[in-house]
Amino acid sequence: MFQHRNIIKSPRDMALDYAANQPIRMVLEPPSAARLVKLRIASFVCAIFILVAGAVIWLWGYPSQKNNPGFWHVTLVSLLFWLSVTQGMFALSCLTRIGHGSWRYPMNRLLDISSLYGVWVLLLLPLLVECRHRIYALGSSETSDTIWRIAGPLAWDCVAIGTAYIAGWALLFLTSLPDFAILRDRADPGSKAHRLYLRLSMGWHGAEVQWRALRRAEGVLVVSIIVSFVASQTVLGWDFQLAAARDWDSSIFAPLYTVGSLLGGAALSVLVMTAVNRFIQAADFMTLRQYDNLGRVMIALGLVWFYFRWCDYLTAWYGRLPSEWAVQNNRVTAFPVLAVIMVVGCFAVPVFGNMIRKFRTTRIGSCAISIFVLIGLAVQRYLDTVPTFAPNYPLSALKPTLPTLIIFAGLAAMFILTYLIAARYIPIISWWGIGKEGTRSAERPFGNGKVTVMMSDPPVWET
């Protein structure tokens, strides 16, 4: 199923490599009639979902749901879930850059595009807050009317989430410059595409000084994104947990959220990689290495997730402080099925499933594992937030309902539509990344077998 790509030794090899140029052709050449129909249908369906979800929020949600805590909490949990996993995707992309993993090149762009989802999120957040601003009052009567105060969690959320996404966009744009330049050079002079990429490429002509500047900027942005990613997940963890359950001091919550976000990011990356690989039929960009390594990443993150979760639970169980134990116990006794799904999805499946090499290195196996992980994480977000937020409401008021599920589906449709739109204008796989990967590693015959040799890859800031 998986093929190893040919070694690329020169720019000429790169220019002649049919597969490597597929993402460039996808942008410049019009799709076939059949594919165009498929794309239009997919976009239309996504748009319908988004519009219905928007209508539910705007027309049905407010003001009739003003006093329904379940509706708003589940809706916010949905938003937070998508926000976490998309941030996890481009944070993972940055972490692979920092760790100079040579397997990262084909997937970096793909993962970075997830930052564009932030456009939707930043538009949605004020809408939701406006509809139910008291959710950010966090039980403190003094703050309920001044939601924009500087010390309020809303301000932290906006700053942290916004910084992470804006840094993500900057990284996506800057690392796309060489590809925009290729598009500019290959587009028909005078055409719309030529004019567009002439502007977007910002005069890129591949000089050494430009490459140096690009690498330096990439290094700075990668570090900034990781810092802002950790900050935003930490803030989300804090404002949705520490503040929500008064008298409960679970300091592990911020790292638990951060690790969960990375785990979800890895799982969603597998799904996106597989979908894109299927869509770009001519090229097998995502090889065994990407699936294998993402599987290993999920094993590590699943173990850390369980470790944090277990510490959280055990501290409350052993201490038996009434307020603390009530919150922990409520999750397990009131939602036993969901608690099991959470542990299976976030721990058992990613760890034990990925330990089996056959699952980890096949598309079906790794996609199945990833879907379980995403379900587990969504349930975790629900369990950690909703019952804790509104302990005095009956369970029936907190259960996800059809409108909340529609909103969740609308957010998923936004994610898909983001990729559909982005793929129209940006090479979805980095052209120069593919070239770089090809020049860096190759298989060499040795005796009866083959060994993979690779060049040692210095960190981004030293290249």
Partner 1 sequence: MSNPFNWLKNWQTRSRIVPSTSPPDPAHTAAAQINDDLTRNVVETGWKWWAVLLFFAAVAGLGVLVVCDQFYEGIGIFGNRRPEYWALPIINFVFWAGVALSGTMISAILRLVHAGWRRELTRMTETLTLCALAVAGLFPLQHLGRNWVFFWLLPYPNERQLWPSYRSPLLWDASAISVYLATSFMFWYAGLLPDFAVLRDRTVGWRHQLYSYLCLGWRGSDKEWKRLRALSGIMTVLIIPVFVSLHTIVGWDFGMSIVPGWHSSIFAPYFVCGALYSGCGAVLIIMCLVRAAFHLQKYILPKHFDNIGKILFSISLLWFYFFAGDAWSDWFTNDPNHVAWLRFMFTGYRWILATIMFFGIVVPFVALSFQKVRTSPWPMLFVGLSVNIAMYTERITVVIPPAARDWLTWGDYTPTWEDVAVSAAAVGLFGFLYTLLTKFVPIVSLWEHKEGLMTEGEELTGSAHLQVVVREEAIS
Q: Is 348 in the site for partner 1 (CB under 8 A)?
A: no
Provide the residue type at 249 as one letter: D
- DSSP letter (8 states) at residue 7: P
Give the interface size with partner 1 as a residue count (CB under 8 A).
41
DSSP-based three-state secondary structure for 392: coil
Question: How far is the C-alpha of 225 from the C-alpha of 236, rounded, in Å?
Answer: 16
**Rounded to whole angstroms, what are the CA distances from 338 to 71, 330, 356?**
18, 12, 25
Question: How far is the C-alpha of 353 from the C-alpha of 209, rounded, in Å?
Answer: 46
Element (DSSP H or E) covering residue 442? strand 441-446
Q: Is 6 in the site for partner 1 (CB under 8 A)?
A: no
- Pick 238 or 408: Cβ nearer partner 1: 238
Q: Which of 314, 356, 364, 395 binds partner 1 (CB under 8 A)?
A: 314
Q: Are 174 and 221 in contact (CB under 8 A)?
A: yes
Q: Is 389 in the site for partner 1 (CB under 8 A)?
A: no
- Pick 50 or 244: Cβ nearer partner 1: 244
- Pick 199 or 357: Cβ nearer partner 1: 357
Q: Is 316 in the site for partner 1 (CB under 8 A)?
A: yes
Q: Is 356 in the site for partner 1 (CB under 8 A)?
A: no
Element (DSSP H or E) covering residue 446? strand 441-446
- Pick 207 or 453: Cβ nearer partner 1: 453
Q: Is 147 in the site for partner 1 (CB under 8 A)?
A: no
HSE of 260, CA atoms in CB hemisphere, 13 A: 32
CA quadruple 20, 225, 87, 369: dihedral sign: positive
Question: How far is the C-alpha of 456 from the C-alpha of 463, rounded, in Å?
Answer: 11
Q: Is 1 in the site for partner 1 (CB under 8 A)?
A: no
- Pick 120 or 253: Cβ nearer partner 1: 253
Q: Is 257 in the site for partner 1 (CB under 8 A)?
A: no
Q: Is 456 in the site for partner 1 (CB under 8 A)?
A: yes
Q: Which of 47, 52, 242, 406 binds partner 1 (CB under 8 A)?
A: 242
Alpha carbon 179 to chain centroid distance? 23
**Per-residue tokens: 427:** 């090479």
- Pick 255 or 433: Cβ nearer partner 1: 255
Min dist CB 232 to partner 1, Å, is 14
- Pick 211 or 307: Cβ nearer partner 1: 307
What is the binding site for partner 1 (CB under 8 A)?
9, 230, 234, 238, 242-243, 246-255, 307-308, 311-312, 314-316, 318-321, 439, 441, 444, 446-447, 449-456, 462
